[in-house]
C-alpha cells in the first residue's frame, strides 16, 4: 500500500511556499519522494523552504512569481518545469486575505484578493495543464477554504474567491479528465499561520471558535501532509473534482 503514496520521480510546483501551509505541503511532497519547485513573489523569501527540501535529498528551485500577473504565472510554471525536467503536480496555494465590512470594500481590495486567490490559480493551472497534457497527465491541487462552503461576515471578497476556486476545481476536473489530469482541492479549517495570526491573538475569538470544532483543537500544519500527498499520488487515481475539508469536523457539525 505504501507504494500508492510514493511520489519518487514526480515533479511538483507549490505556489506561495515561503511559509505556512505552502511550505508544509512542499515539504510533505518532498518527503514522499517528489522533486519540488517552490514559488513566492520574492525568490529570497523561499530560502528556508529550499534548504529544507534540499535536506530531504530532493531537487528544488525557487521561482519568483506574482500570481496576479498572467504572464508571470505562465513564465513561472514553465521555469519550474524546465528546472525539474517536467511537471506532474501543481499545488495552487498562493493566497491572501483581508477582513473588512462589505460596505467598506473597495476595488483595490477586491482585485487584490480575487486576482491572487482565483485568477492566479486558474492561469497557473492552465499553464501546468499544457505541460501535463503533453506528458500523459498529472495532478492539480487547489487550496480552497471553509469559506468555499459557508458565509463569513467581513470576509466576502475572500469567500467569493474561494467559492469560485471550488467551482473552478470541479469544472477543470471534468474538462481535463480526458487528458489524464486530475483536479482536486483541500479546504483547511482553522490553522494558525502568519496570515491568520492576528485572529488567534484574540482570546475570546479563539475560545469561541474552538467550541465549534468537534476535535476541540486548531489544525496543525502536519495535519495537511497526508491529504496533500494522497491527492498528488496514485492513491487517488480515481478521485477528481473533489474537495477534502481538513477541519476537525467543523463543517460536519454545522
Cα gap 14→65, rounded to integer Å: 11
Active-site residue among 158, 190, 200, 238?
A: 158
- 158 a catalytic residue: yes
DSSP string, 150-217: S--TT-HHHHHHHHHHHHHHHHHHHHHGGGTEEEEEEEE-SB--TTTHHHHT-HHHHHHHHTTSTT-S
| Residue indicated by cell numbers 492566479 | 120
* Parallel/antiparallel/unpaired status of strands 243-246 and 181-188: parallel
Angle between helices 20-31 and 225-232 (to 10 degrees): 60
Phi-psi region of 98 (alpha: psi -120 to 50; beta: other; left: phi over 0): beta
Distance, C-alpha 185 to centroid of its chain = 8
Strand segments, DSSP code E, in the chain are: 11-14, 35-40, 60-64, 89-92, 138-143, 181-188, 243-246
Residues pairing with 39 in the sheet: 63
| Residue indicated by cell numbers 493566497 | 95
- What Å distances lie between residue 29 and 26, 158, 191, CA to CA? 5, 27, 19
* Parallel/antiparallel/unpaired status of strands 89-92 and 181-188: unpaired
**Which of the residues are catalytic?**
158
Amino acid at each position: 500500500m505504501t507504494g500508492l503514496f510514493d511520489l519518487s520521480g514526480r515533479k511538483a510546483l507549490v505556489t506561495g511556499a515561503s511559509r505556512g501551509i505552502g511550505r508544509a505541503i512542499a515539504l510533505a511532497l518532498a518527503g514522499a519522494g517528489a522533486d519540488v519547485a517552490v514559488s513566492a513573489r520574492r525568490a529570497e523569501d523561499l530560502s528556508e523552504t529550499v534548504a529544507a527540501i534540499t535536506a530531504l535529498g530532493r531537487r528544488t528551485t525557487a521561482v519568483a512569481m506574482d500570481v496576479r500577473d498572467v504572464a508571470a504565472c505562465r513564465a513561472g510554471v514553465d521555469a519550474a518545469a524546465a528546472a525539474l525536467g517536467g511537471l506532474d503536480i501543481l499545488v495552487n496555494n498562493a493566497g491572501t486575505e483581508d477582513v473588512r465590512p462589505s460596505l467598506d470594500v473597495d476595488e483595490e481590495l477586491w482585485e487584490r484578493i480575487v486576482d491572487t486567490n482565483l485568477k492566479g490559480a486558474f492561469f497557473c493551472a492552465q499553464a501546468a495543464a499544457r505541460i501535463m497534457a503533453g506528458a500523459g497527465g498529472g495532478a492539480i491541487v487547489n487550496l480552497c477554504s471553509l469559506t468555499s462552503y459557508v458565509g463569513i461576515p467581513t470576509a466576502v471578497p475572500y469567500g467569493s474567491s474561494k467559492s469560485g476556486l471550488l467551482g473552478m476545481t470541479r469544472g477543470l476536473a471534468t474538462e481535463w479528465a480526458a487528458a489524464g489530469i486530475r483536479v482536486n482541492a483541500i479546504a483547511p479549517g482553522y490553522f494558525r499561520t502568519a496570515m491568520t495570526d492576528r485572529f488567534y491573538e484574540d482570546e475570546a475569538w479563539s475560545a469561541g471558535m474552538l467550541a465549534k470544532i468537534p476535535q476541540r483543537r486548531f489544525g496543525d500544519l502536519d495535519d495537511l501532509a497526508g491529504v496533500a500527498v494522497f491527492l498528488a499520488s496514485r492513491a487517488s487515481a480515481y478521485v477528481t473534482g473533489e474537495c477534502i475539508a481538513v477541519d476537525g469536523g467543523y463543517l460536519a457539525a454545522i
